[in-house]
């Protein structure tokens, strides 16, 4: 119950292409959680979602939990957009940029274009970002030490 509203908002912003930005609902019956498109439905939405949509659902759920319960201002997210389409990715970055702008975020990705896009979107809101390439850049590795 504590995260229902946050989850509904985050899933509405991230799972945009499948549900038209309306968001998912959490139904908790008999200690089992279901994610549904409408509170009156009993069919769990996860059975009709693509891999990218499932990733977006899990990220929405995790971010809602973090926002409600975490006392830490640190987010570590490993390659969250690897199976998301562009619309879901844009929604995800908007959630991070707007709702977690006071957090230190470590976001790993193997895609250079994604790294550039994230840093661009954060820069537009005057939020600092830094790229660290662990594969090619020896100077970046030395900065971490």
Tens digit of pLDDT at every position of the chain (145 positions): 889 999 999 998 888 654 455 788 888 888 888 898 888 887 888 888 888 888 889 999 999 999 999 999 999 999 888 888 888 888 899 999 999 989 999 998 888 888 899 999 999 989 998 888 877 655 544 454 4
59-62: long-range contacts, CB 8 A cutoff, minimum separation 24: 59/10, 59/14, 59/92, 60/7, 60/10, 60/11, 60/14, 60/15, 60/24, 60/95, 61/3, 61/7, 61/11, 61/35
Pairwise CA distance, residues 14 & 62, whole Å: 12
Pairwise CA distance, residues 114 & 129, whole Å: 13
Does the pTM surpass 0.85? The reply is no
- Angle value at C-alpha 73, between 66 and 86, nearest 5 degrees: 60
Any idea which residue has 């820069």 for tokens?
123
């Amino acid at each position: 119950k504590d995260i229902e509203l946050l989850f509904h908002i985050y899933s509405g912003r991230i799972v945009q292409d499948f549900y038209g930005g309306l968001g998912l609902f959490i139904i908790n019956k008999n200690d089992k959680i279901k994610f549904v498109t409408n509170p009156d439905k009993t069919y769990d939405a996860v059975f009709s979602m693509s891999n990218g949509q499932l990733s977006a659902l899990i990220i929405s759920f995790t971010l809602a939990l973090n926002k409600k319960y975490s006392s830490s201002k640190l987010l570590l997210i490993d390659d969250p957009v690897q199976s998301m389409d562009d619309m879901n990715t844009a929604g995800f970055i908007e959630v991070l940029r707007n709702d977690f702008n006071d957090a230190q975020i470590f976001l790993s990705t193997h895609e250079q274009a994604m790294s550039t896009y994230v840093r661009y979107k954060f820069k537009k809101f005057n939020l600092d970002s830094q790229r660290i390439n662990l594969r090619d850049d020896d100077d970046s590795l030395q900065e971490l030490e």
